[in-house]
Amino acid sequence: EYTYRILKMKDSTMIYVGERGNEVFEEMALGMVSASGDTLATTILGPLLGCESQQLAEKVAKRLQKQIYVSCNIPAERMSRPFIEKH
C-alpha cells in the first residue's frame, strides 16, 4: 500500500508517493511544459540515473499542462509503477 500526498500551489502542484509506514523523501523531480510545447523534466534531489520521479513528473506535467514536482519514493518494480501512474 502507498501513501499519496498532494500539495496544490498557486502555479504548480507537488505529488508525493511513498510506501505506507515507511515515508521517506529520497528523490524529487520537476516537470513542466515549455513555451514551445515540449515537456521537460529534471531531477532536483536523488540519483540522476533511473529516477522514477523524473519520468513521472514529465508524464504528469504533459497531462496537466502545468509545473509539477514529484517525489516518488517506492521500489522500482515493474508491477507497481503502472498502478502508481494510474492513480
Torsion sign (Cα): 45, 60, 81, 17: positive
Asked whether residue 56 is domain-assigned, the answer is yes
Instruction: Please say whether the beta carbons of 17 and 10 come within 8 A.
Output: no
Q: What is the CATH classification number for the domain harbouring 66?
A: 3.30.230.100
* pTM > 0.75: yes or no: yes
What is the span of the domain harbouring residue 9? 2-75
- Three-state secondary-structure class, residue 82: helix
Phi/psi at 73 (5° precision)? -115, 60
**Structural domain count, the chain:** 1
Asked whether residue 82 is domain-assigned, the answer is no
Max intra-chain CA distance, the chain: 41
Asked whether residue 86 is domain-assigned, the answer is no
| DSSP calls for 52-77 | HHHHHHHHHHHHHTSEEEEEEES---
Asked whether residue 85 is domain-assigned, the answer is no
Encode pLDDT of 33-79 as tens digits: 999 999 999 999 988 766 689 999 999 999 999 999 999 888 766 54
Asked whether residue 49 is domain-assigned, the answer is yes
Asked whether residue 35 is domain-assigned, the answer is yes
